[in-house]
Structure 1
Amino acid sequence: MDPQHVRYFLAVVDHGSVNAAAGAVGVAQPTISQGLRSLERELKTPLFYRIGRGMVPTSAGHALVGPARTILRDMATAAGSVPDAEGRLNGRVDIRAHPAVASGALPLIVAEFHRRHPQVRVTLATMYDESRVDELLHNAVCEVVVAHLPVACRAAESLTTLALGTQEYDLVLPPGEDSPQVGSLAWEDLDAAMIVVPQGTAHAQRMYEAMSPGQRARRPAVVVQNREARLAFALAGAGPTWVERSLRDTALQHGARVREMVPALPARYGLVYHDESLSPPARAFLNVAAEIAGTTPEPAPASEA
């Protein structure tokens, strides 16, 4: 099986069409189409349904996704196992992170890792649904996930975690003169239509359960797909929302009112991975993370959600 054809196959799976896949991989559309035809002839089965200009995997195509990613991951692992002429580590580390925990310790770890291993490429992409952690790792989409702990996926017991710290969330209310700019608020006293995001986490469920029955039943003011837009909507007056503690000063500088919730519900977060299948670059990344965080790996406990 030609690894290049496998790469084209996954590009079409990820981008939904030959045109988009060609742009992502940097080759001409006929090259992608020819590679797919060769792969289908070799496997003696169609891998995609052609629907309009889009491509949808057949059942055989879906079955191939995981092994295909593993093939490319194994190739990258093999390449990363061979140091360059000066003994420096090569390869790449692919990371997926929930936006709520992508700040804090992670940038410090990536910066230190890059300083020690400048030849290794680190890629960081967004992951919203934490129930897909095991799927992302099993299908070799990435080697490391940054998520809330405990892990909120079905196969958590097969994973290893490295705690990085805790994330706290504050309530941000639109600017106004009818109350102090900072203060505290009991969960049962929260009484407002919120700006929310549709993607939930295990910690979001804990916050939801801390609210009063009336607040839980209230319809949201705005549902935004892009969680990074929540603060902008709150500052514009659309309603209150939750933001990570790291955004507290930004909110205050723009005139928002900020409330710390009582009792506090700090959220643990960390790195999640399959320990037995790490590439040398990913193993080096975990070593740097453990050193900076001052923690040691441990088996992932079952989710509380």
Structure 2
Amino acid sequence: MDVRQLEYFLAVVDNGGFNRAAKALYLAQPSLSQAIRTLERDLGSMLFHRIGRGVVLTEAGRALVEPARQAVRSLELARASIGSVTGLRTGRVDIAAMPSQAVEPLSGMVERFSHRHPGMSVSIKSAPWPRVVTEMVHTGIAELGLLAAPEPVVDADLKVHDLGRHRFVLISAPDGPFAPGTVVTPAKLSGQRVIAGQPGTGMRRYIDDLKADGLDLTIAVETEHREAILPLVLRGVGSAVLTEAWTTLAEKSGALVLELEPAAYLHVALVSRADRLTPAAAEFLKIATDG
């Protein structure tokens, strides 16, 4: 068993099958299949159930995922550490981020990092909920995670770097039900149509809490696609509760950004594994937390 085989194994896991994994690796599928068969023979156990064109991990395969990610990440760390002797010139930082936080503060972090290290690249992996972010960091899919939660982020197995709070705001169409500058209270939201994210998100929890308190709100659209919310607002389908991270983009698009009272917040944090980071990830973390 070697690291290359583990990289191939993880590519099949992450891409959901041999065809897509082979394309992602720029490798002929027969070569990938042979490498996986060799790995299975070395381990003495099947790693995948082949089902049509797809695959499902066996129990042995599931047990291998985290050790494989750790082994691959350790090799990346060794290579990056050697390369850092002559300075950070090339490399990649893998970051798991929730959608709103990927708008801001992540875009600002990436901007500062890229200006200082133009030869480095950043890979941003989408995660819809805080627990998905922490799982991706735990398992080594990403070295860093950016998330927001209703309560301060706590995880005994990860380092948590607090980035403060983001306030919820109401995004509304310019010709919608609210005048510019309106401070929107729950009473003013009564009877309105709103666009909401899927259950489990902070913005959806805010809406659900208002409905649980007896407020008359109609969820006109429930969407998993955060990028669809602003266009729907601008077309007059409904208003949306988002964090202030969206303010600049919403205002540039012509939407109104209105204060909500009483104020409500999400706590934003960067998380990283407790063990050593690659030099690139460590530098990104330093730049991000220095502001």
- TM-score, normalising length from structure 1? 0.84
Instruction: Give the 3-state SS of the residue equivalent to 2:71 in structure 1.
Output: helix
Amino acid at match of 1:168: R
Looking at structure 2, the residues matched to 249 and 117 of structure 1 have their Cα atoms a distance apart, in angstroms, of 26
What is residue 187 of structure 1 aligned with on the other side? 186
Does residue 176 (structure 1) correspond to residue 175 (structure 2)? The answer is yes
CA RMSD of aligned residues (A): 2.6
What is residue 29 of structure 2 aligned with on the other side? 29
Looking at structure 2, the residues matched to 177 and 241 of structure 1 have their Cα atoms a distance apart, in angstroms, of 12
Looking at structure 2, the residues matched to 135 and 284 of structure 1 have their Cα atoms a distance apart, in angstroms, of 22
Instruction: Give the 3-state SS of the residue equivalent to 2:183 in structure 1.
Output: strand
Equivalent positions of 1:187-206 (< 5 A) are: 187-191=186-190, 192-198=192-198, 200-201=200-201, 204-205=204-205
Cα drift, residue 286 of structure 1: 1.8
What is residue 95 of structure 1 aligned with on the other side? 95
What is residue 125 of structure 2 aligned with on the other side? 125
Does residue 279 (structure 1) correspond to residue 282 (structure 2)? The answer is no
Cα drift, residue 177 of structure 1: 6.4
Aligned residue-pair number: 289
In structure 1, stretches of 5+ residues that fail to align are 293-305
Instruction: Give the 3-state SS of the residue equivalent to 1:221 in structure 2.
Output: strand
Looking at structure 2, the residues matched to 235 and 267 of structure 1 have their Cα atoms a distance apart, in angstroms, of 24
What is residue 148 of structure 1 aligned with on the other side? 148
Instruction: Give the 3-state SS of the residue equivalent to 1:55 in structure 2.
Output: strand
The change in CA–CA distance for 1:234 and 1:88 in structure 2 (over 3 A counts) is closer
Looking at structure 2, the residues matched to 177 and 54 of structure 1 have their Cα atoms a distance apart, in angstroms, of 47
Cα drift, residue 221 of structure 1: 1.2
Q: CA contact under 8 A between 1:183 and 1:258: conserved in structure 2?
A: no
Cα drift, residue 105 of structure 1: 3.4
In structure 2, stretches of 5+ residues that fail to align are none
Cα drift, residue 107 of structure 1: 2.7
Instruction: Give the 3-state SS of the residue equivalent to 1:164 in structure 2.
Output: strand
Looking at structure 1, the residues matched to 285 and 248 of structure 2 have their Cα atoms a distance apart, in angstroms, of 31
The change in CA–CA distance for 1:176 and 1:99 in structure 2 (over 3 A counts) is same
Q: Indicate the larger mover: 53-62 or 169-178.
A: 169-178
Looking at structure 2, the residues matched to 281 and 188 of structure 1 have their Cα atoms a distance apart, in angstroms, of 49
Looking at structure 2, the residues matched to 221 and 87 of structure 1 have their Cα atoms a distance apart, in angstroms, of 52
Cα drift, residue 58 of structure 1: 0.9
CA-to-partner distance for each residue in 1:222-273, whole Å, 9 max, x for gaps?
A: 1122111101112222222123434445545655444311012132312111
Does residue 20 (structure 1) correspond to residue 16 (structure 2)? The answer is no
Q: CA contact under 8 A between 1:129 and 1:199: conserved in structure 2?
A: no
Q: CA contact under 8 A between 1:101 and 1:167: conserved in structure 2?
A: no
What is residue 137 of structure 2 aligned with on the other side? 137
Does residue 289 (structure 1) correspond to residue 291 (structure 2)? The answer is no
Instruction: Give the 3-state SS of the residue equivalent to 1:276 in structure 2.
Output: coil
Amino acid at match of 2:260: M
CA-to-partner distance for each residue in 1:83-120, whole Å, 9 max, x for gaps?
A: 36744465432111111112333333323333434444
Does residue 228 (structure 1) correspond to residue 236 (structure 2)? The answer is no
Looking at structure 2, the residues matched to 23 and 43 of structure 1 have their Cα atoms a distance apart, in angstroms, of 25
Q: Indicate the larger mover: 238-247 or 37-46.
A: 238-247
Looking at structure 2, the residues matched to 8 and 177 of structure 1 have their Cα atoms a distance apart, in angstroms, of 52
